[in-house]
Amino acid sequence: RKEVEQDPGPFNVPEGATVAFNCTYSNSASQSFFWYRQDCRKEPKLLMSVYSSGNEDGRFTAQLNRASQYISLLIRDSKLSDSATYLCVVNAGSARQLTFGSGTQLTVLP
Partner 1 sequence: EAGVTQSPTHLIKTRGQQATLRCSPISGHTSVYWYQQALGLGLQFLLWYDEGEERNRGNFPPRFSGRQFPNYSSELNVNALELEDSALYLCASSFLPVYEQYFGPGTRLTVT
Tell the smallest beta-carbon distance from residue 38 to partner 1 (Å): 9
Tell the smallest beta-carbon distance from residue 105 to partner 1 (Å): 12
Asked if 101 touches partner 1 (CB under 8 A), the answer is yes
The DSSP symbol for 27 reads -
Report the candidate in 74, 57, 88, 76 with the shortest Cα–Cα distance to residue 16: 76
Asked if 96 touches partner 1 (CB under 8 A), the answer is yes
Residues of this chain, 36-65, that bind partner 1 according to CB under 8 A: 41-46, 49
Asked if 107 touches partner 1 (CB under 8 A), the answer is no
Report the candidate in 6, 22, 9, 4 with the shortest Cα–Cα distance to residue 108: 9
Q: Point out which span in 13-21, 58-66, 70-78, 89-97 binds partner 1 (CB under 8 A).
A: 89-97
Please provide the DSSP assignment of 69-110 as one string: TEEEEEE-S--GGG-EEEEEEEE-GGG--EEE---EEEEEE-
**Which residues form the interface with partner 1 (CB under 8 A)?**
31-32, 34, 41-46, 49, 87, 91, 95-103
